[in-house]
């Protein structure tokens, strides 16, 4: 296995879809050996598409490819006693086991937490659910868009009606929360010598990122509404039309407001706009005035002027533009892996770098997302040779 800060860890990934696989991939990116335990039909996302790529008789889902790099695939039918025994032998050797079954399913498959810790007292178990493992609605199935709605995120996203985020953000945040919870439990294990269960949910992830929108209600007693393309508490801060493409501006301080006004030859102390509170109160008028001015030239003109003035600003890039942008490439945010049927495949990279190196994540070499049971024989052989 490639090196990395977690290269001494063995992770069993029993999860499917996105939240759990993303959590496991984060640890894999950091060098952990991740064995993805899949049911006979494979992870659900192997069938999620289009788009699919590869030979017509052997297609791969790009959705699956997005969340499963740096893993080995082992097919196990946990209702089969022989396969269940393989999992038990892996548990004895593992540091982490991740699962996102509905509450009680892993117990019925013969692997309750009590047995997992009997097999391996040092095992850290991550359990991700939709709405929490207990409580009056703890047994509900968890799907991202439902969690975005139930967790309040959609009520503050959009312009004229509630809108979901363009990626499965509830899944992704639950995965991130799970990964950092696992690392905390591993750190604790170094002192106690024992593992523990880490629990999180899609609902917890949504509530956990409410930030100032949450305290707007819990502290100020105001229910936030749709925020659209502009910040509800800062102005000007948002997206503005120009003579060509939209641009974004972020005046997060009075100093930046003054810099913007200087660049546009405006009076920063003009009545109705002299403070942020006044600008928020008169936001619609301010947006209209800025867009009337911005309509007189193209986006590149305004971005250059704002950059010279030191006002934070930027484009609204399409995905193809993002992955060809030299800044993205310089940060290792696109990586290439060698897939057994697809050849060289470009994937979004890890958001972490260490010691200012050029690698995406903590490892020098990344593994392509695995084919179903691609590593089954090798893993069974390893278990046999390891006793």
Residue range 302-321, pLDDT digits in tens = 999 999 999 999 999 999 99
The two beta strands, 237-240 and 52-53, are unpaired
List of the chain residues with pLDDT < 50: 1
pLDDT at position 353, please? 87
By residue count, the chain amounts to 387
pTM over cut 0.85: yes
- 275-292 as b/e, with b when 16 or more CB fall inside 10 Å? ebeebbebbeebbeebee
Question: Phi and psi of 355, rounded to 5°?
Answer: 55, 35
Please give the pLDDT value at position 355.
79
**Within 13 Å, how many C-alpha atoms sit on residue 37's CB side?**
24
Written as six digits, the tokens of 152 are 């309040």
pLDDT value for 2: 52
pLDDT score for 339: 96
What is the Cα–Cα distance from 83 to 78, expressed in whole angstroms? Answer: 6
Residue 334, both tokens: 């696109």
Q: Which domains does the chain have, with CATH numbers?
A: 10-209+328-385 (3.40.50.10540), 247-315 (no CATH)
Q: What's the pLDDT at 1?
A: 43
> Kind and range of the H or E element at 203?
helix 202-208
β-sheet bridge partners, residue 60? 53
Identify the H or E element spanning 382.
Answer: helix 376-385
Residue 151 pLDDT: 98
CA distance linking residue 258 with residue 274, whole number of Å: 9
The H-or-E segment that residue 98 falls in is strand 96-99
Instruction: Count the alpha carbons within 13 Å of 353 in the hemisphere toward its beta carbon.
Output: 15
Active site residues: 171
Q: Which long-range contacts (CB under 8 A, 24 or more apart) does 166-171 make?
A: 168/18, 168/144, 169/144, 170/19, 170/142, 170/144, 170/145, 170/202, 170/203, 170/205, 170/206, 171/17, 171/18, 171/19, 171/22, 171/144, 171/202
């Amino acid at each position: 296995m490639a090196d990395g800060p977690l290269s001494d860890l063995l992770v069993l990934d029993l999860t499917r879809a996105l939240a759990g696989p993303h959590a496991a991939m984060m640890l894999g990116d950091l060098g952990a050996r991740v064995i993805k335990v899949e049911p006979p039909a494979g992870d659900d996302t192997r069938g999620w598409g289009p788009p699919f790529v590869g030979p017509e008789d052997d297609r791969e889902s790009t959705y699956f490819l997005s969340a499963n790099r740096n893993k080995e695939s082992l097919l196990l039918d946990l209702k089969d006693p022989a396969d269940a025994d393989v999992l038990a032998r892996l548990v004895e050797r593992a540091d982490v086991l991740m699962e996102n079954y509905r509450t009680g399913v892993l117990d019925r498959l013969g692997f309750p937490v009590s047995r997992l810790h009997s097999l391996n007292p040092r095992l850290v178990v991550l359990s991700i659910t939709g709405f929490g493992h207990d409580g009056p609605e703890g047994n509900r199935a968890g799907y991202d868009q439902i969690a975005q709605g139930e967790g309040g995120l959609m009520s503050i996203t959009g312009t004229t009606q509630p809108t979901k985020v363009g990626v499965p953000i509830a899944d992704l945040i639950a995965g991130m929360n799970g990964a950092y919870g696992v690392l905390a439990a591993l750190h604790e294990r170094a002192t106690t010598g024992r593992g523990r269960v880490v629990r999180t949910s899609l609902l917890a992830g949504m509530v956990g990122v409410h930030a100032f929108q949450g305290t707007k209600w819990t502290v100020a007693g105001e229910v936030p509404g749709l925020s659209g393309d502009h910040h509800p508490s800062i102005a000007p801060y948002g997206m503005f039309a120009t003579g060509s493409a939209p641009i974004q501006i972020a005046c997060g301080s009075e100093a930046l407001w003054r810099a913007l006004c200087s660049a546009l030859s405006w009076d920063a102390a003009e009545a109705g706009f002299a403070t942020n509170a006044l600008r928020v109160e008169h936001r619609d008028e301010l947006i209209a005035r800025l867009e009337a001015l911005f309509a007189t030239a193209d986006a590149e003109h305004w971005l250059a002027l704002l950059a010279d003035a030191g006002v934070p600003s930027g484009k609204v890039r399409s995905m193809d533009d993002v992955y060809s942008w030299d800044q993205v490439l310089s940060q290792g945010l696109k990586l290439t892996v060698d897939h057994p049927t697809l050849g060289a495949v470009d994937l979004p990279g890890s958001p972490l770098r260490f010691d200012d190196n050029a690698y995406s994540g903590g490892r020098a070499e990344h593994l392509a997302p695995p084919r179903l049971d691609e590593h089954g024989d090798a893993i069974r052989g390893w278990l046999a040779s390891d006793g």
